[in-house]
Structure formats: structure tokens, C-alpha cells
Chains A and B, each alone.
Chain A
Amino acid sequence: MTPMHKLPPLLWGLFSAGGTIAAFLFPAHAFMTWVAFPYAWLRPPSYDYLIHMLHSPWVRIYFLGFISLPLFHWAHRFRYTLYDGLQIKHLTLLIVTLCYGSALAGTAFAAYVLWRMP
């Protein structure tokens, strides 16, 4: 087994984990952030309350997984959407680099932001 053979199961695992987080938790968060707060149906949580919550390392780890895993879910699914939708399987290397690279970059940035959170 070369390392390249171990990669696809890992990527499917990340796709699955990210899809599960996006299914269970994203609707509630997206409803509040994108619909209920902007249209003033619900009151957004205060800055002090959120910073207080973010003092807990568990909350930071939760948000890291909350952002990172769904990004990998996107990377994996969108890669195949491009293959099927646009028939550009020959551009594999470019697509794979852009998709998983973006997910990795997003994860690194999320870790940095959560690390330096006051």
C-alpha cells in the first residue's frame, strides 16, 4: 500500500463527517446568522456573551471542527460535481489541489483565529 491508496478512504471519511455536521448543525446556525438576525426575527447574542463562551477550549475545538470538516465535505463533493457537471476529469490535479488546498487553508486560518481569540 502506497500512501496514495490510503488517501481516498480518509477523504470519504472527512466528506461524511463534514456532511453530518453540516446537516445537524448548519441549518440552525445559518437560519440565525443569515435569516433571523438580519430580518430581526431573533436578537443576535451579545459580544460579551460570545467571548465568554469562546474562553472555553471545548467551544474553540467545536468551532474548529464546525468550520474545517464541512470545508472538506465541500472539497470532496464539489470535486466530483466538477467532474460530472463540466466533464473536466482530465484537470484532476488542478481541481484536487484547489479543492483540498482551500479546505486546508480555511482550517489553518480558523485555527489561527481561534487561537488568538481574546
Chain B
Amino acid sequence: MTPGSNYTLYHPRWYRKRVSVWWWLETRPYIFFVIRELTSLAVAYFAVVFLWMLKALADGPESYARFLARMQNPGLAAVNTLGFLMILFHAVTWFNLAPRAMAVRLAGKRLPDWAIRGANYGAWAVATALVVWLAERG
């Protein structure tokens, strides 16, 4: 490949029909697929907000109180509620795909999908209860 050529990595210039940038609005499964992919934005946003909270904790009690007050801003709280729903959508789609991602074998037999899914939802319930209990203890 010469530096000036129009070839892109792995792709020779073959004939392809142009696909609209809005292809994902065509059918319901496409829309769900794109929403699922976009949940990563809510995941990253929450990681950043959580980091912001840790920084507030490092800065002292006043900063932590300011952080909690900031979260109560009505506009921000509305956006964050939507973010929470996106994270919930991520979790549900993640667990539902778990049987596709891991084939667990027990005594030579592959565990059925419902068992893997059920184990994931069970572990999720335990993790959620533990986190809320630890937070509410203090």
C-alpha cells in the first residue's frame, strides 16, 4: 500500500450500495440495537460522576455536601434519571446475552440458557442488596 493510495485498511474499493446514516431507524430491532450500544454513554457518564463524588470526598465534607446538593438540581436529576434507565437497559441486555457469551458445561452437558440467565439475575440481586445495605449502614 503506497501512502497516497485510496485503499483503506483491510478494504479494497469494491462496489457497495450506499447505506443511509439513518439505517438504524428502519426497524424496531435496529432501534433497540442502537439504544443498547448508546447505553455506553450513560455508563461512562456515571463513572465520571462517581469520580467527581470521590474527588469531592477527598476535598472535604463541604465539597461532599455540595456534590449531593448539585445532584438535586431538577434539570440534572431529570437527565440522571434517564441515565439510570439507560444503565438498567445495559444491565438487562447484558444478562440476557450472557448465555450467548459463555457456554457453561456441567458433567459434560451444556447448561441451558435459562440457568445461566437465572444465575446472572440472582447474582445481580445479591450484589444490589449488598451495595444498598453497605451504603445505608452509614
Give Cα distance in the complex from A51 to B59, angstroms: 11
- Flag if A34 contacts B127 (CB, 8 Å): no
**B12-46 interface bits toward A, Cβ cutoff 8 Å, 1 = contact, 0 = none:** 00000001010010000000001001101101101
Q: Is B57 an interface residue (CB 8 A)?
A: yes
Total contacts A-B at CB 8 Å: 162
Q: How many residues of A are counted as interface, with CB atoms below 8 angstroms from the partner's CB atoms?
A: 62
- Flag if B77 contacts A39 (CB, 8 Å): yes
Taking A42-B136, A67-B47, A71-B47 as contacts, is the C-beta distance between A81 and B38 under 8 angstroms? Answer: yes
Can you spell out 13 A-B residue pairs with CB atoms less than 8 angstroms apart? A16-B101, A26-B43, A27-B88, A33-B53, A33-B80, A34-B77, A34-B83, A70-B43, A71-B44, A77-B40, A81-B37, A84-B37, A106-B48
Using a CB–CB cutoff of 8 Å, the interface residues on chain A facing chain B are 16, 18-20, 22-35, 37-39, 42-54, 63, 66-67, 70-71, 73-75, 77-78, 80-81, 84-87, 89-90, 92, 102, 106, 109-110, 113-114, 116-118
